[in-house]
Amino acid sequence: MSRLTIYPDNDPQKALLDTPDYEVIAEALNKIGVRFERWEASEKFPNDAGDNVVLEAYAADIERIKKENGYQTVDILRCNAQTPDKPAIRAKFLNEHTHNEDEVRFFVEGAGVFYLRVDGKVYMALCERGDLIGVPAGVTHWFDMGPDPDITAIRFFDNKEGWVPHFTGSKIADEFPKFEKTKRTKAA
């Protein structure tokens, strides 16, 4: 179940909001310019399903998002039991960064947490199967796919280079709760 927990950025122990309510999540994220949608995740794919199979299953929604926002390309991010060096992949996303383009992800399978630092708060958005999140260019954030990731996500890009981070050098991500799958029912 998706969940949003909001903290002051200087106090990771004090939740200002903690909710699994989709409408509340979407409204709170929209106020900071972040898109949050729930798509019909009608198919479950085996880990070896080809990218084209996954993209075809969501073709109508993909085209809608591309047209609305001018995204040029999409690809598939996968990290699962067959992925080598999962700790290094997880670590790459755990450092606070920004992008010159939007970071838009649709969770086909699995889950992960986007941490968005905006206006003195950290928005901890647990996204799961069927969730689309769109983080606007320039928003300071980091992402955690958990210690044993099993995730398939469609990524949207408005450039041909793909995922290009600009790391802030801040250690704030070390201060906030990490995503642990066993704690999904609480604030991840």
Find, among 163, 42, 188, 48, the residue nearest to 108 by Cα.
42
pLDDT at 141: 98
Is residue 186, in this structure, part of any structural domain at all? no
Spacing of C-alpha 98 from chain mean position:
13
Domain that holds residue 42: 3-170
CATH number, domain at 166?
2.60.120.10
pLDDT at 136: 96
Are the C-beta atoms of 144 and 180 separated by less than 8 Å? no
pLDDT at 181: 66
Distances (CA, A) of 41 to 47, 105, 108: 16, 14, 7
pLDDT at 186: 42
Find, among 140, 175, 144, 124, the residue nearest to 17 by Cα.
124
State the pairing for strand pair 35-38/131-135: antiparallel
State the pairing for strand pair 73-79/151-157: antiparallel
Secondary structure (3-state) at 178: coil
| pLDDT per position as a tens digit, 36-58 | 999 876 677 776 778 998 899 89
pLDDT at 187: 42
Blockwise average pLDDT, block size 10, the chain, 188 residues: 96 97 98 94 71 90 94 90 89 93 94 97 96 96 94 88 86 94 46
Is residue 188, in this structure, part of any structural domain at all? no
Is residue 175, in this structure, part of any structural domain at all? no
Evaluate the CA torsion angle 165, 14, 178, 55 in order and state its sign. Answer: negative
Is residue 182, in this structure, part of any structural domain at all? no
Is residue 131, in this structure, part of any structural domain at all? yes
Is residue 142, in this structure, part of any structural domain at all? yes
Is residue 93, in this structure, part of any structural domain at all? yes
Is residue 43, in this structure, part of any structural domain at all? yes
Q: What is the pTM of this model?
A: 0.90
Per the structure, the count of domains in the chain is: 1
